[in-house]
Amino acid sequence: MSFNVSQFDLNRRSFLASSFAGFTANVLGTTPSYGFDAKAFESKPTEFQHACMTLSYGGFPLDRALQGIKTAGFRHVAWGIKHLEANGKQVPVMAEDASVETAKALAKRCRDMGLDPIMMFSNIYPENPRGLEVLTQRIKQASAAGIGQVLTFGHTTGGNKKIWIERFKILGPIARDHGVMIVVKQHGGTTGTGEACAEIIREVNDPGVFVNYDAGNVMDYLNLDPIPDIKKCASTVRSFCIKDHRNWPKDQDCGPGFGEIDHYKLLEPVAFTGLKIPLAYENIFAPLVPRPTKVEEIDALAKRAREFMETVIAGLQQGPVIMKK
């Protein structure tokens, strides 16, 4: 497969420009904030980009993960976190101190297989003492790889809002200068909801930092229904970590469609934004039953998850959804 670097860079910057568009007032109507204007975009369907995370294949070599993701029908991939390689060692997909040349080489490896990498884990909390240093390097890696989004999140039992805002105000311009976006998802603690993450993003007020929505984590860590929550932050959402959750008969994360979250209602607030929004499939597994031991079974679950979400989106985008009052 041939790869035209200049054309890809143009496409990536076009994607980022569309994501940064819509300098509007925030939902509180008090200060200006980067988001999308629902009225301006309501007739333009969102282009959801289905990207399977390599995370579900962590017990197998990275090459086999990429092969499986391609076999499952994905055209995009998200990097994270480690893989059990043939030598029996757990090896990071991309070490935090890896060179930009290493990131560029892995991206080429993915694209040569027909997979476009569009998101990568930062593997560090923003408030970590090394958070600023590592996230800056992650931005540089992502830029070299042609990856549009770097994913980060807070500690499950805390989250220093003041430090987050200070650091994101520094990181936002760095991300934009490199054609990259930092996205922040819910992970329990004080940043366990989309609403809480959006408050930080609105205060930072930089188009290099937006929200990633993880409905499974909202339900898992805080035992809250994510549907009312996403309505409070939808204008700041630029990607999703796709993960479902069950509270019964066992408290457990699972793949989309296996849990209790209504994905039609979850995506409805962002179904007509006119933007490109990555869907990073973080959990594809069935609840209650043991995790697969055969890699082919993971391939099948990845395919099932993609087909389920594509069915949901196809239904939503038949026309604007009219919510009953």
Residue 66: phi and psi, rounded to 5, are -65, -40
Lowest mean pLDDT, pick from 124-128, 296-300, 319-323: 319-323
Q: Rounded to the nearest 5 degrees, what angle is found at the Cα of 219, between the Cα atoms of 124 and 79?
A: 35
Q: Does 4 have pLDDT greater than 50?
A: no
Domain limits of the chain?
A: 13-316
- Domain topology for 13-316: TIM Barrel (3.20.20)
- In tens, the pLDDT along 248-270 reads 999 999 999 999 999 999 999 99
Asked whether 314 and 48 are in contact (CB, 8 A), the reply is no
Percent of the chain with pLDDT over 90: 82
Mean pLDDT of 189-193: 93
Angle between helices 194-204 and 161-177 (to 10 degrees): 60
pTM of the model: 0.89
Residue bearing the bigger pLDDT, 35 or 10: 35
Omega before residue 249 within 30° of 0, cis:
yes
User: What pLDDT is attached to residue 159?
Assistant: 73
